[in-house]
């Protein structure tokens, strides 16, 4: 079935007459034991950390939408990302895209390096850089495309081929992709050879800025995802029944919302691209964007995120973006409302983001109204 059908029907199959069309929320934390006694396996309903009907429905839907075998839903995107690295052992090595989400970089630099993990950041827009960074102890490659916040595009399929060719005999290097910005509506990294997909479900999956959650989806039901699910179970960083139910509800409109996000984002990007007070626009949907050809090949559309370099100083940018009537100054993304932020200020003193970059999450308002709002801000800039 097409994805817009699966977002509505995957994961729930009511049986018999007089059944609800949507699942009920099951808040129970304990479940009666089966005849053989307490079941402590991953995904069991023995105890709420191990499994829950609402979380199971969400995980089933996400695995279905990403064409994966199994998923694990977490209490946040960061807990999901952290679990991927916690599976690794001291002395293991990971290769990470250089323009990675600052929260991921913080986990690696502040926590996992003390764990004994070795990390190499590379410019993944040149696929060969990833292969060149592979070591005998490399266990994971972590990618973002489009990247956060500079919208860099990497070729998932090509990187996968190069990594597989460079992998030492008898070893296996997992390839993970943060697919939060593209969503399964636009890109399916597992179909391009990746092993793991991560979503901050707080963003487009939730879509209404009212749920905190994350997820990992695996192409195979292998040892790696089983260890991730064990971390999920034992640390208790699980998506709650209510949040899982909310996300299942939100997924039903994901395709429609992403269509509107994409239509508005390209309109905004084209407007900014021709404005004299703009130095550069980062959006893969613009034909002159460095990653446009690759994005066109591996994405069905170009997403709702736009980053822009304004021709102004940091202090002036901070002042003027607050004068917008529709674009709210906030740090998240993927909701129906349009947001923007001075990204360097949000990332903190170790940020590598240019001081004149503003990251925009283009919502689903009418594009003419959004452009008019941008125009009145730019008139003051």
More confident residue, 349 or 171: 171
Known catalytic membership, residue 121? no
- Indicate which CATH number applies to the domain containing 321: 3.90.1150.10
Q: Domain check: are 310 and 212 in the same one?
A: no
| Among 101, 121, 204, 283, the one annotated catalytic | 101
Q: Domain check: are 235 and 278 in the same one?
A: no
Contact status, residue 80 vs residue 268, Cβ threshold 8 Å: no
pLDDT in tens, 342-372: 999 999 888 889 999 999 999 999 999 999 9
Q: Domain check: are 89 and 200 in the same one?
A: yes
Q: Which of 196, 218, 251 is the last residue of a domain?
A: 251
Q: Domain check: are 193 and 298 in the same one?
A: no
| Among 6, 12, 39, 49, the one annotated catalytic | 49
Q: Domain check: are 95 and 218 in the same one?
A: yes
pLDDT in tens, 84-130: 999 999 999 999 999 999 999 999 999 999 999 999 999 999 999 99
| Among 139, 203, 233, 359, the one annotated catalytic | 203
Q: How many domains does the chain contain in total?
A: 2
Instruction: List, in sequence order, every beta strand (DSSP E) within the chain.
Output: 70-74, 93-97, 118-122, 138-144, 174-178, 196-199, 214-218, 278-282, 305-310, 328-329, 339-342, 357-361
| Among 178, 195, 243, 373, the one annotated catalytic | 178
What is the pTM assigned to this prediction? Answer: 0.96
Q: How many residues does the chain have?
A: 381
Known catalytic membership, residue 178? yes
Contact status, residue 258 vs residue 265, Cβ threshold 8 Å: no
Known catalytic membership, residue 132? no
Residue 122, phi then psi, degrees to nearest 5: -135, 155
> Does pLDDT of 378 surpass 90?
yes
Structure tokens at 136: 């005998």
Q: Which of 251, 285, 308 is the last residue of a domain?
A: 251
Contact status, residue 363 vs residue 263, Cβ threshold 8 Å: no
Q: Domain check: are 111 and 176 in the same one?
A: yes
pLDDT in tens, 211-269: 999 999 999 999 999 999 999 999 999 999 999 999 999 999 999 999 999 999 999 99
Residue 50: domain span = 3-251
Q: Domain check: are 158 and 84 in the same one?
A: yes
Q: Which of 251, 277, 307 is the last residue of a domain?
A: 251
Residue where the block lists tokens 């396996």: 41
């Amino acid at each position: 079935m097409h994805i817009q059908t699966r977002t509505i029907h995957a994961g729930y199959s009511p049986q018999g007459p007089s059944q609800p069309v949507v699942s009920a929320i099951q808040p129970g934390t304990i479940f009666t034991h089966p005849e053989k006694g307490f079941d402590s396996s991953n995904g069991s309903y023995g105890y709420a950390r191990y499994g829950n009907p609402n979380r199971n429905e969400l995980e089933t839907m996400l695995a279905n939408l990403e064409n994966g075998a199994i998923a694990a839903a977490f209490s946040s995107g960061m807990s999901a990302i952290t679990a991927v690295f916690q599976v690794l052992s001291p002395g293991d090595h990971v290769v990470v895209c250089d323009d990675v989400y600052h929260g991921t970089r913080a986990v690696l630099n502040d926590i996992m390096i003390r764990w004994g993990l070795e990390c190499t950041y590379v410019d993944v827009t040149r696929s060969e850089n990833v292969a060149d960074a592979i070591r005998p102890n490399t266990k994971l490659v972590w990618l973002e495309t489009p990247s956060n916040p500079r919208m860099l595009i990497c070729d998932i399929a090509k990187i996968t081929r190069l990594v597989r060719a460079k992998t030492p005999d008898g070893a296996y290097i997992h390839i993970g992709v943060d697919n939060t910005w593209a969503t399964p509506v636009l890109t399916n990294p597992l179909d391009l050879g990746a092993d793991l997909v991560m979503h901050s479900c707080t963003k487009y999956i939730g879509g209404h800025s009212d749920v905190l959650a994350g997820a990992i989806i695996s192409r195979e039901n292998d040892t790696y995802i089983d260890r991730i699910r064990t971390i999920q179970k034992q640390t208790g960083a699980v998506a709650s029944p209510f949040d899982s139910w909310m996300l299942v509800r939100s997924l039903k409109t994901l395709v429609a919302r992403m269509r509107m996000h994409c239509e508005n984002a390209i309109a905004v990007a084209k407007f900014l691209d021709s404005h004299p007070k703009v130095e550069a626009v980062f959006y893969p949907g613009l034909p002159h964007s460095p990653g446009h050809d690759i994005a066109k090949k591996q994405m069905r559309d170009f997403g709702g995120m736009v980053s822009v370099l304004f021709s102004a100083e940091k202090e002036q940018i901070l002042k003027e973006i607050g004068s917008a009537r529709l674009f709210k100054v906030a740090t998240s993304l993927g909701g129906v409302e349009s947001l923007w932020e001075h990204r360097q200020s949000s990332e903190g003193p170790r940020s590598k983001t240019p001081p004149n970059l503003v990251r925009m999450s283009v919502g689903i308002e009418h594009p003419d109204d959004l452009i008019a709002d941008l125009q009145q801000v730019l008139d003051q800039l």
